[in-house]
């Protein structure tokens, strides 16, 4: 139990703190707002996974993992939108981009609450492993993979139109996304489908977001993506 708490809770706290600092720096800036929503939803997704790992009830664990699949699906859409506005917008997105981003997300969010996504779970010593996964789970994983790769491509393309400081910011964000993509594909799909998940495989996906938090924090402090001192002051005042 202690190892599961250590794996999830620091990531959740880190995401919420960074998101809140960023939001309070400029509550009207859409990049700040989007980043806060992004951090909050990832934290909520981790909390659902944490509940699924911690409970001793198979039924509760099953619905916790379904809830995690429901909450986690919009992360892909938000990643794509964040890649467009981070650190600046270089080209306006077309309507079909929004359709291709949102329509699959809505479909998979609906299916996430049904047995078609996660039919059952197996409780282990410190985690819950989904079992009986089928085509819908595979398609959702493909959506996740395509979404993250598309975000990386967008960010790589934008590097041609920004200055050196912004290229450094984009490079850090791309590194964090790559780590998250690799870790979550391995733990959330490969090990789950092969039924090779262990007591800590679920937590590894959550821990991968620590890397994303770290590089974004570095971008904030080193490359002055946001005024970190003003953000911290407003956060303390809010608290």
> pTM of the predicted model, to two decimals?
0.82
Q: What is the torsional sign of CA 228, 233, 238, 239?
A: positive
Q: Which tens digits make up the pLDDT trace of 179-238?
A: 888 887 777 666 666 656 555 665 677 778 777 777 776 675 565 554 445 555 554 555
Q: Which tens digits make up the pLDDT trace of 54-106?
A: 888 899 999 999 999 999 899 989 989 888 888 777 777 777 778 888 899 99
Domain residue limits, the chain: 2-238
On the 0-12 / 13-18 / 19+ scale of CB atoms within 10 A, 219 is: buried
Distance CA 85, CA 196 (A): 38
- Per-residue pLDDT for 150 more than 60? yes
The CATH code that applies to domain 2-238 is 1.20.1070.10
- Which pLDDT does position 71 carry in this prediction? 92
Q: At which residue do the structure tokens 């990832």 appear?
A: 42
């Amino acid at each position: 139990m202690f190892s599961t708490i250590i794996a999830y809770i620091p990531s959740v706290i880190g995401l919420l703190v960074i998101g809140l600092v960023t939001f309070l720096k400029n509550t009207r800036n859409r990049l700040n707002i989007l980043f806060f929503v992004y951090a909050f939803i990832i934290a909520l997704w981790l909390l659902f996974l944490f509940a699924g790992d911690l409970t001793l009830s198979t039924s509760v664990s099953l619905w916790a993992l379904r809830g995690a699949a429901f909450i986690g699906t919009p992360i892909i859409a938000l990643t794509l939108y964040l890649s467009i506005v981070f650190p600046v917008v270089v080209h306006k997105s077309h309507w079909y981009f929004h359709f291709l981003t949102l329509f699959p997300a809505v479909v998979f969010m609906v299916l996430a609450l049904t047995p078609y996504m996660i039919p059952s779970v197996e409780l282990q010593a410190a985690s819950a492993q989904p079992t009986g996964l089928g085509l819908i789970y595979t398609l959702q994983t493909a959506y996740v993979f395509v979404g993250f790769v598309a975000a990386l491509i967008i960010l790589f393309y934008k590097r041609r139109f920004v200055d050196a400081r912004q290229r450094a910011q984009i490079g850090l964000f791309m590194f964090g996304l790559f780590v998250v993509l690799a870790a979550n594909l391995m733990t959330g799909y490969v090990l789950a489908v092969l039924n090779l998940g262990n007591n800590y495989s679920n937590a590894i996906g959550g821990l991968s977001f620590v890397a994303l938090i770290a590089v974004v924090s570095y971008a904030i402090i080193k490359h002055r993506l946001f005024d970190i001192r003003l953000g911290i002051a407003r956060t303390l005042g809010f608290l």
